[in-house]
């Protein structure tokens, strides 16, 4: 997902460390009474951009963990130092997409020795788009507990600001193929997807993705760029206008991206079209002589049509007469 590289200080200041020293004290007091057992893998979400988005519980578990399994040990060490922590290399274990299956065996060995192992990806919640799923599956299969620590995620961050309206939730697709033909085929399958869809993209491919999404026409897309960082952008527009929007300013193609394709709007239908001719004629006749609810009930009794459909139709007919 998003990386923290641009927001992490190369040399954390003493002032920064002292601020988080206060946070660590608060974490110990707030989280201390809770149970965080040994021989457990802790899946820990870390900030996607803003260092202040770390949770008290994450700080507490990171401080107490015997081993930190991480996507990039150098990156994690930099993150730890920003919070005033430092770990020696023996306490850091690289677990990334190229060695996840093999490294899982090392994690399990440490759990067997009674260690607390915390896994962090470069940024965000592990095992969503970043590595971690294979590690979690292997640890669970070995009979050890996996405890998730919720926190930052570019997926939920953007969804919360996108204003997506519609039923059925959303689909998380993540990164599409870097190959143009495969990416186009994947997007073509999204044309008929009625639910909202969340995509992730890197800066060097965002313009190609925008061009490919043109097939969605007037369907709304919310772009999240550099989420939680200083130059954060959240903007909603029609898919067919994405290419032009990116072309307006060169800065718009810089940074990491999350995109939400909004839910497909259901076509509005005329309620009268849901009734057969006989039911509609009966309803119209009764409405001229009886109150709405009585006309609806009698029409339903006579024709067997749904009361809900009849009621909606009756309301529509009444509005037409006003």
CATH number of the domain that 89 lies in? 3.40.1010.10
The whole-model pTM stands at 0.77
Residues 78 and 169 in one domain: no
Task: Out of 127, 152, 177, pick the residue that ends a domain.
Answer: 152
Three-state SS for 235? strand
Mean pLDDT confidence for 20-30: 87
Distance CA 120, CA 62 (A): 9
Other CB atoms within 10 A of residue 207 CB: 16
Number of domains composing the chain: 3
Give the 3-state secondary structure percentages of the chain, helix then strand then coil, rounded to 5.
Answer: 50, 15, 35
Residues 192 and 293 in one domain: no
Distance CA 58, CA 44 (A): 6
Distance CA 292, CA 318 (A): 9
Q: What is the mean pLDDT of the chain?
A: 89
pLDDT of residue 149: 97
Residue in 162, 264, 265 with CA at minimum distance from that of residue 222: 162
Q: Which residues of 77-87 are buried (b: 16+ CB within 10 A; e: fewer)?
A: bbbbbbbbbeb
Distance CA 123, CA 144 (A): 25
Question: 152 — alpha (psi -120 to 50), left (phi > 0) or beta?
Answer: beta
Residues 198 and 217 in one domain: yes
Task: Out of 121, 152, 183, pick the residue that ends a domain.
Answer: 152
pLDDT of residue 260: 98
Domain span at 305? 271-321
Per-residue pLDDT at 225 exceeds 80: yes
Per-residue pLDDT at 11 exceeds 70: no
What is the spatial order of strands in the sheet that 67-70 belongs to? 92-94, 67-70, 116-120, 40-44, 145-149
End-to-end Cα, the chain, rounded Å: 55
Mean pLDDT confidence for 17-44: 89
Distance CA 15, CA 19 (A): 6
189 in any annotated domain: yes
pLDDT in tens, 158-194: 999 999 987 789 999 999 998 989 999 999 888 889 9
Other CB atoms within 10 A of residue 211 CB: 14
């Amino acid at each position: 997902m998003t990386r923290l590289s641009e927001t992490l200080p190369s040399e954390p200041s003493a002032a920064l460390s002292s601020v988080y020293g206060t946070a660590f004290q608060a974490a110990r007091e707030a989280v201390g009474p809770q149970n965080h057992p040994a021989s457990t893998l802790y899946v820990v979400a870390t900030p996607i951009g803003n260092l202040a988005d770390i949770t008290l519980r994450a700080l507490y578990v990171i401080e107490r963990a015997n081993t930190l399994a991480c996507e990039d040990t150098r990156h994690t060490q930099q993150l730890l130092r920003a919070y005033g922590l430092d770990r020696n290399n023996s306490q850091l274990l690289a677990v990334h997409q190229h060695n996840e299956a093999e490294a899982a065996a090392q994690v399990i060995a440490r759990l067997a020795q009674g260690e607390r192992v915390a896994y962090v990806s470069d940024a965000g919640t592990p095992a969503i788009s970043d590595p971690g799923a294979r590690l979690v599956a292997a640890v669970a299969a070995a009979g050890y507990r996996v405890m998730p620590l919720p926190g930052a995620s570019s997926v939920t961050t953007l969804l919360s600001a996108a204003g997506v309206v519609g039923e059925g939730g959303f689909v998380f697709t993540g990164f599409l193929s870097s190959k143009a033909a495969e990416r186009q085929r994947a997007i073509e399958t999204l044309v008929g997807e009625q639910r909202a869809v969340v995509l992730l993209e890197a800066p060097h491919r965002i313009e190609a993705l925008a061009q490919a999404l043109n097939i969605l026409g007037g369907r709304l897309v919310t772009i999240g760029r550099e989420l939680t960082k200083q130059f954060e952008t959240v903007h909603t527009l029609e898919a067919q206008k994405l290419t032009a929007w990116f072309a307006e300013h060169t800065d718009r193609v810089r940074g990491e991206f999350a995109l939400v394709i909004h839910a497909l709007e259901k076509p509005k239908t005329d309620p009268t079209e849901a009734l057969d001719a006989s039911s509609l004629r009966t309803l119209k006749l009764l409405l001229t002589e009886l109150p709405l609810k009585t006309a609806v009930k009698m029409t339903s009794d006579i024709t067997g049509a749904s009361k809900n459909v009849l009621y909606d139709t009756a309301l529509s007919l009444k509005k037409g007469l006003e």
